[in-house]
Structure 1
């Protein structure tokens, strides 16, 4: 099993999620966050109030079979692309084991 985490522009989430669901991947976790991107600041202190955040992002998380990873990445990339810098990032991690809460 693999975990796919994608950080994308919030206005692209609906397009991505609809395509993933249509392709048979309905189990998606979506979170809103803020990021700094390539933010550069000469001041070494960073505010805990996120005043340096310059980029709202949406995080999509999907756990899938290894065979489905390339298809999911393709959908996220195609639907999340704007053609501008900072479209997002996709991370792939191994999932060692999963448990259902009700079975533990």
Structure 2
């Protein structure tokens, strides 16, 4: 199994979500996050909502079968891309085990 984490511009979340859902991947987690990227500017300000930067990003997390990794990454890449600086980044990690909290049993997704 794989865990895919994508940090994207918040206004692109719905595009990514709808395309993932239409492709058969409706289960994901979306979180509000903050990011600095390469932080080349000294003008970054402390925000009242974010503790470090004023650059909001959305984090999308998906756990999937190994065989679905490329499809999901491709959808996120296509739908989150604006062509502007700071479009985001995608990380893919191995998932060793999954347990259902309801019954404590090991599970396949």
In the other structure, the counterpart of 2:14 is 14
Distance 2:40 2:98 in 1: 39
Q: SS of 1:83's equivalent? A: coil
Kept in 2: contact 1:13–1:58 (CA 8 A): yes
Kept in 2: contact 1:37–1:55 (CA 8 A): no
C-alpha offsets along residues 7-41 of structure 1, whole Å, 9 cap, x if unaligned?
00000000000000000001100001111112146
How well do the aligned residues superpose, as a CA RMSD in angstroms?
Answer: 1.7
C-alpha offsets along residues 22-70 of structure 1, whole Å, 9 cap, x if unaligned?
000011000011111121467xxxx7x7564131100000000000000
In the other structure, the counterpart of 2:57 is 57
How many residues are paired up? 99
Moved more, 10-19 or 32-41: 32-41
Which runs of no fewer than 5 residues in structure 1 stay unpaired?
A: none
Kept in 2: contact 1:9–1:88 (CA 8 A): yes
Q: TM-score, length-normalised on structure 2? A: 0.84
In the other structure, the counterpart of 1:97 is 97
Which runs of no fewer than 5 residues in structure 2 stay unpaired?
A: 105-109
Q: SS of 2:60's equivalent? A: strand
Distance 1:32 1:102 in 2: 26
Distance 1:91 1:36 in 2: 16
> Runs of 4 or more off by more than 6 Å in structure 1?
none
Q: TM-score, length-normalised on structure 1? A: 0.88
